[in-house]
Structure 1
Amino acid sequence: MKIAIIADPELPVPPLLYGGIERIISMLIEGYIKLGHKVSLFAHPDSNTSAKLFAYSGLSSSNKLDVIKNTFLINRILIKNNFDIVHSFGRLAYLLPQLPVKLPKLMSYQREPSLGQIKKAITLSRKNSLSFTGCSAYISNQISPFATSYPIFNGVDLSIYDFVEKIKEDAPLVFLGRIEPIKGTHIAIKVAQATNKRLIIAGNIPAEYQNYFEQEIKPYLSDTITYIGPVNDSQKNKLLGSALAFLMPIEWNEPFGIVMAEAMACGTPVIAFNRGSVPEIVINGINGFSCNTVEEMIGLIGKVPQLNRQNIRRDCEERFSSTIIINHYLELYQKMIDNNK
């Protein structure tokens, strides 16, 4: 197949540190190319990819001029080349000029979908030419009343994450993610304090949440509760693999949460609040536990030794491996191409 993939312009593909969507795009591209498919990528100029890169000149999705420049680039290339399918992880607006034409178009949502835009796009699009995916059923089910939509999980490259069968007796709890209230960093601290467990906090601090860090996190840092900053893939592998459990005390509806799958790839269980996609990802008693309150999360820490880390890794291999996710997308591409003939 000849595949065009569209990313948002803010971060390179793959990202050096934070950037879950860009990491997924990179995983798909490298997998497609290994299978013999031809891939073109529209992305940040610093992207390091095996695909043919068409670099954006506009680097902000919120700047109207940048959006116009990027839309022009994308559609100029799409018109000049005979692609079998175009798959966008970026703005739906980028596909606007292509909606009336026959080219199969797949729009993937890794965040809450813009239902108003979706309904307008379906009205403008050629029949059977536009479909959608969500990174979980939580996302795709919001789209399905208005358009053809499929749930396809995000995946991880299992070669990056080492399975760790045995951990130290004093293995820490780990929180890994953006340091902001909805991610629940402050709740992870409460859980660690109540269970007398070490806690390692990793992740970037968005500028707008620096005060949150200063007021809700920093005062509680100690010899047993530490903050190590952002981590790269190698550091993340070591951190998650050495953990007793990965805590995800989210206070929002997480669309997927790729770090849950990354923890499971190491054999590390996930303990998460039961919101967003968590009920689909966490299988209680198999790869972790889900719960609804801080008190419940505290109580579940004592049940972690009951979990089998081999089973956790196996579940990740069967549901979240890059091979599985790549095949799901390729099967969907072919289905869309066949339906659009």
Structure 2
Amino acid sequence: MRILVVSTPVGSLGSGQGGGVELTAFALVAGLLRRGHQVSVLAAAGSVLPAACRRAQLWLESGVDQPSWQHRPQQSPVEIPAGGLLPRFWRRALGRQADVDVIVNLAYDWLPIWLTPHVATPIAHLISMGSVGQAMDAVIAEVAALHPERFAFHTAAQAADFALPGPPRLVGNGFDLSRYRFEPRPEPLLGWAGRVAPEKGLEDAAAVAAALDLPLAVWGLRQDAAYAERVEASVPPGTLQWRGFLPTEQLQAELGRCAVLLNTPKWNEAFGNVVVEAMACGVPVAAYARGGPGELVQPGVNGALASPDDRQALAEAVRRAQRIERAACRRWVEQHCSQEVFAGRIEAWLEAVTRGITSPQPPGPV
């Protein structure tokens, strides 16, 4: 297939601003290239593709970043800033649609979904978040009623947020496991990774680390500096080790040293990339039983679950997770979340999209 992948309009690829969508984009492009497809990527100016994606043609557009739906009230209207990157993406994508067989949209935005019934070349949407806005919920429900095959989701927990006409197509996510080194010998260190913002629940992980008298290494972009300062002030000095946003090679080398990764979402996390990245290094995960991480963590196999927002239960989950065989975590990722497995699911979905097939749906990835 000739495939155009339209990236997130929230920052350039490689900047970290796009969160987990960046990792998904790289895995999707690399996997489809290896399966023999012709792939182009439309992304913000300044974007850089990793070596595994270099055979893809990179189209760049300049413009104002699109505001994320993630940090706005549920009733917020659709907003596109003057000179916005989002409409410039789609002006270029639609101008080149005759050159491709399918357009893959990675942006969690109203415009490309609304365009779907009005465009000759099929647009396939990999939805990256759960419900965060009424306008988004409505347009997904409206277009899914007409073209259910055009939507794919990372997990069942995420898909359950939306009014869909039938069973969702679940594709999980994929990781280049050659980039993650298995570490059998952990240090007395807990880990936490993600955007440093309130919906990620870092304050709970910090409190648990303090209660267990263990340091907590924190990786990720400080999206909300005031929030980060409040979290640090809530625990004894030295509890938090701020490691910053790191490229995969450096992140996995540090992450693998952790005894346990804590995952503490306060919202319905669509997947949980850092959960899988930790497991790929052999690190078991203690997570709240909420959203995608609640599906990825298999108690006794690759981690332990705790009731959402229950810090005491999370501390107990850390203790259980420390007893898990680290090699089992890596094996689970190899079976369920490799880049090859993910690319196969994406390929099957896009083939169905180009043929207009709506059923039967394959089973979920986990």
- State the partner residue of 2:252: 237
| TM-score of the pair, normalised by structure 1 | 0.88
**Offset at 1:143?**
3.6
Counterparts of 2:31 and 2:233, CA distance in 1: 41
For residue 104 of structure 1, the aligned residue among 118, 122, 125 is: 122
Which deviations, in whole Å up to 9, do the C-alpha atoms of 1:89-133 show, x marking residues without a partner?
12341354552355332111111252211233356x6x67x5101
Structure 1 window deviating more from structure 2 (307-316 vs 106-115): it is 106-115
Which deviations, in whole Å up to 9, do the C-alpha atoms of 1:220-247 show, x marking residues without a partner?
3634532222222222112210000000
1:60 pairs with 2:65: yes
- State the partner residue of 1:188: 205
**Offset at 1:301?**
2.5
- Within-5 A mapping of 1:206-217: 206=223, 209-217=224-232
Asked if the contact 1:133–1:150 (Cα under 8 Å) also holds between the matched residues in 2, the reply is yes
- State the partner residue of 1:267: 282
For residue 152 of structure 1, the aligned residue among 167, 171, 196 is: 171
Which deviations, in whole Å up to 9, do the C-alpha atoms of 1:169-210 show, x marking residues without a partner?
xx200111222232222211211121122221222222xx32
Mark the CA change 1:203 to 1:332 in structure 2 (over 3 Å): closer, same or farther: same
Which deviations, in whole Å up to 9, do the C-alpha atoms of 1:58-96 show, x marking residues without a partner?
232243442333321111111x41x22111112341354
- Within-5 A mapping of 1:224-303: 224-292=239-307, 293-303=310-320
**Offset at 1:340?**
5.8
- State the partner residue of 2:153: 134
1:72 pairs with 2:91: yes
1:20 pairs with 2:25: no
Asked if the contact 2:144–2:164 (Cα under 8 Å) also holds between the matched residues in 1, the reply is no
- State the partner residue of 2:354: 337
- State the partner residue of 2:364: none
- State the partner residue of 1:42: 42
Counterparts of 1:95 and 1:300, CA distance in 2: 40
Which deviations, in whole Å up to 9, do the C-alpha atoms of 1:28-49 show, x marking residues without a partner?
1122222221011111122223
Mark the CA change 1:339 to 1:73 in structure 2 (over 3 Å): closer, same or farther: closer
**Offset at 1:322?**
0.9
Mark the CA change 1:214 to 1:192 in structure 2 (over 3 Å): closer, same or farther: same
TM-align CA RMSD: 2.4
Structure 1 window deviating more from structure 2 (286-295 vs 248-257): it is 248-257
| TM-score of the pair, normalised by structure 2 | 0.83
- State the partner residue of 1:116: 138
Structure 1: any 5+ residue segments left out of the alignment? none
- State the partner residue of 1:311: 328
Counterparts of 1:131 and 1:18, CA distance in 2: 22
Counterparts of 1:215 and 1:57, CA distance in 2: 35
Asked if the contact 1:187–1:294 (Cα under 8 Å) also holds between the matched residues in 2, the reply is yes
Q: Secondary structure at the match of 2:258?
A: coil
Counterparts of 2:286 and 2:191, CA distance in 1: 10
Q: Secondary structure at the match of 1:150?
A: coil
Counterparts of 1:221 and 1:59, CA distance in 2: 40
Asked if the contact 2:19–2:195 (Cα under 8 Å) also holds between the matched residues in 1, the reply is no
Which deviations, in whole Å up to 9, do the C-alpha atoms of 1:294-341 show, x marking residues without a partner?
111112232234201111100011111111101110011122223369
For residue 235 of structure 2, the aligned residue among 217, 220, 241 is: 220
**Offset at 1:17?**
7.6
**Offset at 1:147?**
6.4
- State the partner residue of 1:164: 183
